[in-house]
Amino acid sequence: MIVLQPHAEGLILPVRAQPGARKNAALGEQNGALKLAVNAPADAGRANKALLELLRELLGVKPSQLELLQGGKSRDKKFLIRGVPRAELEERIATLLTG
């Protein structure tokens, strides 16, 4: 189960990154985090940019609603999501994981 954490500006979504993959995709859940694969390498922040773009697309949020808070040089990252109610975000994530 993916655990969303409250934040003063929204919700924190934990993500486990897999850079250098064949394609960009949501791979499921791993240790309480959303596992995402991106084809960009973990070099000069390219994978982080690809993760931001993929998350925006998958969750249907605007660029200003999504920010990398923690884990810029780690596979384990935390993204801040603004302006999406918890129940709605949980539903969007559940749809990703099942469909």
Identity of the amino acid at 80: L
Tens of pLDDT along the chain (99 residues) come to 899 999 999 999 999 999 999 999 999 999 999 999 999 999 989 999 999 999 999 999 999 999 999 999 999 999 999 999 999 999 999 999 997
Q: With b meaning 16 or more CB within 10 Å and e meaning fewer, what string describes 34-62?
A: bbbbbbbebeeeebbebbbebbeebbebe
CB atoms within 10 A of CB 99: 6
Cα atoms in the 13 Å half-sphere on the side-chain side of 14: 13
- 0.75 exceeded by pTM: yes
C-beta of residue 14 within 8 angstroms of C-beta of residue 23 = no
In the chain, what are the domains?
5-98 (3.30.1200.10)
